[in-house]
């Protein structure tokens, strides 16, 4: 049975007049929400979201229930803004962690499910190493993941406070969902941006390593952020894994090459069958009806995290979205009637040999596919167009509506409201006024500005760019029960 211990702290900071952050410590559920949209709107959004999450998870305390809870929170904020005009435009981030059952009913299969929307973060401290395991849904972080700017440039990016995904801006929202296997000694930190905008990664890691009490660790991190500037509300929730039911000890034995003790579950064989991998890269998969069941773990990017291929004790929960964004899918069974490629011995004879002709063919095929993708990308991203984003005239790079997986991205925001345009200009912009270059698009916008009255509204969200997920840090190399 996995046991947790937690602590939390929150502070208004030194600039804000009210605290728009909300946190939830209701074991096994923990969450942080950072509201926005004016004093009343921000507080209302975060409080509404946390209440909706709590109610939904209590009705379905599973990984699916956590993801659905965040979607319900989004719907609750959206509907409240529709009902009360003074709250229009409010929104909130949300990051949540819950201890839930994994793929089996056995205690060994408990996992920490994580759900995230926005730029509030979850960090994992394991074996003294602190990694960010959630992705920020903000303009500069999306650009970093796309390789367009460096992490250092993101710190001072002019749009660093602009989010690409929040709760309450649309009736539906995409939720990042994944899970980690908890090990004794793990520590998770949930935090609003008021912490990490003031305290750097090394400073957060130093406190997380040094301060053993989760309540004191949260309070110290909040104090440091306040003393470093306190330009925003600051909220930190710390969750410690204090008992993992001997999971870490069994993982250590597996790393040492010693067969782990038989799990307390009927239907699972004690020793691994011949040819099944053991050691640092293997985790015994659950068995059902004599068939092996494998599952991949694909969490969002972890800063500095090792890849799944090199992670001892890789996780056993598959979060591939087979039912749409944010859904948790079941493990995929091995191919019926055929060899399990995961467990094939290294010296097994190959049924086919790679000849020179096959290699040349594969190289040519790869070059053809790469060339086609490059040509499509050049066509899809070679131009600009003037369009609309949340009522504002915006210059996009790409083609209206996008092409295949290439979606238009914002190149410049004009500050001109669509409502201020003449009817003819408005029709052109709504359809997407294509221009061959950024300069031509800027000249067209200048003409639009000459005809328009001063604009008063801007948007705070952008369509998300595609991010490449990586793995969460590996479980401890050694531990004691």
Q: Please report the pLDDT score of residue 390 as a whole number.
A: 80
What tens digit of pLDDT does each residue of 288-346 get?
333 332 333 344 444 333 333 333 333 333 333 333 334 443 333 333 343 332 333 33
What tens digit of pLDDT does each residue of 394-432 get?
998 887 876 666 778 888 888 888 888 888 888 888 888
To 5 degrees, how large is the angle CA 218–CA 163–CA 146? Answer: 105
Grouping H, G, I as helix, E, B as strand and the rest as coil, residue 429 is helix
User: Per-residue b/e over 225-234, b at no fewer than 16 CB within 10 Å?
Assistant: bbebebbbbb
Distance CA 385, CA 364 (A): 35
Distance CA 92, CA 42 (A): 7
Distance CA 399, CA 390 (A): 18
Q: What is the mean pLDDT of the chain?
A: 76
Superfamily for 2-244? Answer: PPM-type phosphatase domain (3.60.40.10)
Return the domain boundaries, the chain. 2-244
Distance CA 340, CA 115 (A): 32
The dihedral built from the CA positions of residue 121, 15, 143 and 385, taken in this order, carries a sign that is positive
CB 456 within 8 A of CB 479: no
CB 144 within 8 A of CB 151: yes
> Which of 317-321, 369-373, 378-382, 427-431 is predicted most confidently?
427-431
What tens digit of pLDDT does each residue of 5-25 get?
999 999 999 999 999 999 999
């Amino acid at each position: 049975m996995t046991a947790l211990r937690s602590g939390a702290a929150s502070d208004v900071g030194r600039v804000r007049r009210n605290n728009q952050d909300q946190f939830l410590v209701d074991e096994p559920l923990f969450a942080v929400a950072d509201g926005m949209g004016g004093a009343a709107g921000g507080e209302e959004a975060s409080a509404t979201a946390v209440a909706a999450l709590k109610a939904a998870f209590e009705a379905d305390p599973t990984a699916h229930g956590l993801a659905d809870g965040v979607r319900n929170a989004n719907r609750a904020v959206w509907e409240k803004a529709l009902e009360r005009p003074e709250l229009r435009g409010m929104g909130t981030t949300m990051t949540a962690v819950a201890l839930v059952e994994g793929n089996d009913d056995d205690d060994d299969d408990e996992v920490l499910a994580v759900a995230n929307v926005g730029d509030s973060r979850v960090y994992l401290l394991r074996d003294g190493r602190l990694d960010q395991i959630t992705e920020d849904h903000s303009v500069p972080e999306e650009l970093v993941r796309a390789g367009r700017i460096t992490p250092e440039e993101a710190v001072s990016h002019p749009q660093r406070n602009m989010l690409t995904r929040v709760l309450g801006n649309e009736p539906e929202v995409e939720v990042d969902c994944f899970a980690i296997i908890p090990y004794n000694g793990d520590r998770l930190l949930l935090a609003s941006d008021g912490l990490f905008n003031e305290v750097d990664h090394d400073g957060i890691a130093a406190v997380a390593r040094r301060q053993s009490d989760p309540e004191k660790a949260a309070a110290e991190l909040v104090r440091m952020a306040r003393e470093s500037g306190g330009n925003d509300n600051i909220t930190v929730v710390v969750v410690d894994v204090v008992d993992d039911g001997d999971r870490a000890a069994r993982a250590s034995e597996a790393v040492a090459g010693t067969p782990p003790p038989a799990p307390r579950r009927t239907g699972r064989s004690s020793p691994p069958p011949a040819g099944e991998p053991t050691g640092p890269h293997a985790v015994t998969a659950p068995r059902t009806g004599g068939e092996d069941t494998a599952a991949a773990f694909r969490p969002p990017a972890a800063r500095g995290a090792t890849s799944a291929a090199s992670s001892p004790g890789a996780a056993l929960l598959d979060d591939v979205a087979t039912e749409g964004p944010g859904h948790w899918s079941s493990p995929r069974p091995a191919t019926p009637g055929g060899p399990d490629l995961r467990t094939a011995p290294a010296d097994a004879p190959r049924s086919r040999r790679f000849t020179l002709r096959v290699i040349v063919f594969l190289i040519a095929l790869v070059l053809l596919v790469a060339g086609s993708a490059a040509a499509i990308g050049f066509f899809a991203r070679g131009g600009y167009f003037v369009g609309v984003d949340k009522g504002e005239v915006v210059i996009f790079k790409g083609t209206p509506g996008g092409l295949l997986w290439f979606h238009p991205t914002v190149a410049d925001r004009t500050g001109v409201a669509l409502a201020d345009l003449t009817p003819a200009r408005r029709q052109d912009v709504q359809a997407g006024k294509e221009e061959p270059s950024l300069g031509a698009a800027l000249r067209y916008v200048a003409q639009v500005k000459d005809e328009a009255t001063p604009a008063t509204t801007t948007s705070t969200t952008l369509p998300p760019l595609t991010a490449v997920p990586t793995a969460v840090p590996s479980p401890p190399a050694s531990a004691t029960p």
